[in-house]
Structure 1
Amino acid sequence: MAFAPWAKTISHFLTYLMMRQHLLLPFLFLLLGMACQKKELPDIHAIENGLLLDQQPEGSPVQTFSLAERMEHYQVPGLSIAVVEKGKLKWAKGYGIAHTGTGQAVDTETLFQAGSISKPVAALAVLKLVQEGLLDLDVDVNQYLKEWQVPENAFTAKEKVTLRGLLSHTAGVNVHGFPGYKQTDPFPSLVEVLNGSGNTPPIEVDKLPGSGWRYSGGGYTIFEKVVEEVTGRAFERYMEEEILLPLGMRNSSYEQPIGGRWQKNSSAAYDRQGEILEGFWHNYPEKAAAGLWTTPTELAKYCIAIQEIRGGKEDGLLRPELVEQMLTEQDGSWGLGPALEQREGRLLFKHGGKNAGFTNQLIAFADEGNAVIVMTNADRGNGLIRELLHAVSAYYGWGISSPKLVAPESAD
């Protein structure tokens, strides 16, 4: 009984902090730092205290910031990161709050919506079916579609839509991205989305296939339907059984809306003012394009698997020749799923992700076994991610991201 007054005081203090998020984050960082300071790698301390602004005044000492400071600046309640070095997960850590309503903190198991990082993982389904002889990358996709087909028009009369075009955003298909649906909105079927009966236009070809690169979430929604038609399985089931579990991604799901078994570890989403979205997050029937719930640690497994096969592993999810195609530029610096970039002769595969209230980035080296994945539960996560990537790149000497040096009077 002697401790009851203290318990009541602590309870009131925590309640006060919960009501004032800008005070809660530094308090949580303090507690986490005290708990982890004896066992954390020096990498972690250096990076989380070495964030760099996008612009640095030329000729002046570099100014660094803590991750806690910049999370508060950008109104980002929660963040999770994983770093891969030489083909192994080097470290992973969560920061801040996953759900201000419950006080749930972000840890390495907290699920975030991957946004468009769903696409390169989903592309593995097509490549695996190609490997099994059930699909061909270069034939008319309408050969595989029964319930719904790509509408024929003047563009498709000249060139047909292929899976290669859909994966590389060169099929001439419209609909850049998807806003998702609130919990109170009617949730359309995949065919309804394709027909334009949801909150986006009908998915169709409005540019000559093969005539150039243009990003299209609509294209990925078409191949989602192809996978379902060819396998006879719901897309989320096929992905779980044939892609995610074989990769060891047991804490990931394409279920939309997300199933109850996953929700206790799912982060809420936050707008540009740091306010929680109504209903906590949006739902996405466009699963291949935007429907993956996952963690940076899980996406690290995807990166490592691709790097290992690229290095010659013969018994991986895909054969080396298919990964070689996946990482070969088709058009617009894009492969079959991921974006590609050459940095001083080093090949990177990468993808960003943006759903309502979630902002993420994945960058991996094809041949060096290094990667970094950052996921945030906020609409303003991009600036924070860039500054964090500057810190990661500077610490490891990876050359993937660096501030721009500007005249002192021009620096922010």
Structure 2
Amino acid sequence: MTPRLTSNGVPPGHPARRLARPALATVVVHGRTPDSVNVEGLADTSTGRAADPSTAFHLCSTAKTVTAVVALRLARDGVLDLDADVRDVLDVEVVPAGPGPSVRQLLSHHGGVVDPPDAFTPGPGEAPATADVVAGRTPHHDGPVRVTEPPGRAFSYSDAGFCLVERVVETVSAQPFADVVHREVVAPLGLTATTAWAGERSAPGARSSTLARVVGTACAGHHRDGTRVDGVRVHYAGPSASGLWASPADVGVLLADLLRAWRGAGSVLLDPASAAAMLEDRYDHGVGLGVLVGGPRVMSQGWGVGFQAKLLADRGADRAVAVLLARDPGVPQEGSVVGRTVRALMG
């Protein structure tokens, strides 16, 4: 089934452009394929550039879901051990001394890594390499990333923990993280405008054309009042935690495949054992690997400077929706247009 792809953004020069809003995209998946992809508004309110289903949006922390998929695929192939101490791969200090966290624990925010205040403040330029963030060589994290609580004991939402996962992936794969995402997720699904993007303008190899498409189409970030953020858009350190950019059309393909995986209905990305591992709430905190879980529902969401997003799947209803907004609405998803739209689409 071919999804309905529509766009009613206002073209540059149109008198209504002054009243147009930053882009809002909705994706509905029912059954095995995307049912509809709809985009309204502008990719950039300063220039009047219209958004459409091929326009890349910043998905913010929904990147964590894709990072978990990457780790699960590498584990399936025997490249990565989800339950090994990450110190088998990385030089990570544990304070106090004791066992280090596993990738599985880090993916569920139970790795004992607590982000310091004001960590991961983004900027308009290219974000630093994650290796430098982990080593404490940037202002994005106060000192080196350390494990300060016993792994497995408590939930602490941590971008720094995902930076450790990113470095494990890079080390065992001997490739940059963005290239691994391309190989393990983008290429298998045939996505055309999805990548882990830290602000670089070009990339060598297989990812080059995809990155060029994202750079050329990406929405600007917008403040609550609809004005464009300084520098057009910002980038966060640690692409594994919050650096995923994707078009609504691609989100539909990705979400459809994940829904099939979570329902045990056949998936390109995940075999049944990997899909079950992703949804396991091992610590009974409503947290799987890179997702939040509750009954038949699976959720991922992100909120950053200039953007907000939410993905929600209902395995029992065989339905999933995504809402992407090129604007910071100023309130969490529960009270924003993103959350209201997700609720309306899910029924």
CA 1:16–1:303 in structure 2 vs 1: closer, same or farther (change >3 Å)?
closer
Q: 1:46-61 residue pairs with structure 2 within 5 A?
A: none
Partner of 1:226: 168
Structure 2 residue 51 is the aligned partner of structure 1 residue 106: yes
Letter in 2 for 1:386: G
TM-score where L is the length of structure 1: 0.72
Secondary structure at the residue paired with 2:189? coil
Partner of 1:90: 35
Residue 119 of structure 1 deviates from its aligned partner by: 0.5
Letter in 2 for 1:80: A
* Deviations 1:302-327 (CA, angstroms, capped at 9, x unpaired): 22222323444567322211111111
Partner of 2:288: 335
* Residue of 198, 201, 207 corresponding to 2:139: 198
Residue 389 of structure 1 deviates from its aligned partner by: 2.3
Residue segments in structure 2 that go unaligned for 5+ positions in a row:
1-10, 203-211
Q: 1:137-216 residue pairs with structure 2 within 5 A?
A: 137-145=82-90, 149-154=91-96, 157-175=97-115, 178-183=120-125, 187-196=127-136, 197-202=138-143, 203-216=145-158
CA 1:306–1:14 in structure 2 vs 1: closer, same or farther (change >3 Å)?
closer
The CA distance in 1 between the partners of 2:345 and 2:225, in whole Å, is: 27
Residue segments in structure 1 that go unaligned for 5+ positions in a row:
1-10, 26-75, 395-412
CA 1:393–1:365 in structure 2 vs 1: closer, same or farther (change >3 Å)?
closer
Contact 1:274–1:378, Cα closer than 8 Å, also in 2: yes
The CA distance in 1 between the partners of 2:45 and 2:266, in whole Å, is: 46
Partner of 2:6: none
Bigger mean CA offset, 230-239 vs 196-205: 196-205
Contact 1:310–1:367, Cα closer than 8 Å, also in 2: no
Partner of 2:187: 245
The CA distance in 2 between the partners of 1:311 and 1:187, in whole Å, is: 37
The CA distance in 2 between the partners of 1:141 and 1:295, in whole Å, is: 33
Q: 1:31-42 residue pairs with structure 2 within 5 A?
A: none
Secondary structure at the residue paired with 1:114? strand
- C-alpha root-mean-square deviation of aligned residues, in Å? 2.2
Partner of 2:65: 120
CA 1:152–1:393 in structure 2 vs 1: closer, same or farther (change >3 Å)?
closer
The CA distance in 1 between the partners of 2:157 and 2:232, in whole Å, is: 28
The CA distance in 2 between the partners of 1:271 and 1:201, in whole Å, is: 27
Structure 2 residue 306 is the aligned partner of structure 1 residue 357: yes
Partner of 2:254: 302
TM-score where L is the length of structure 2: 0.85
Identity of aligned residues (%): 27
Contact 1:269–1:356, Cα closer than 8 Å, also in 2: yes
CA 1:315–1:80 in structure 2 vs 1: closer, same or farther (change >3 Å)?
closer
Contact 2:37–2:252, Cα closer than 8 Å, also in 1: no
User: Higher helix proportion, which one?
Assistant: 1
Secondary structure at the residue paired with 1:245? helix
Q: 1:271-350 residue pairs with structure 2 within 5 A?
A: 271-312=223-264, 316-331=268-283, 332-342=285-295, 347-350=296-299
Contact 2:302–2:308, Cα closer than 8 Å, also in 1: yes
CA 1:313–1:390 in structure 2 vs 1: closer, same or farther (change >3 Å)?
closer
Secondary structure at the residue paired with 1:280? coil
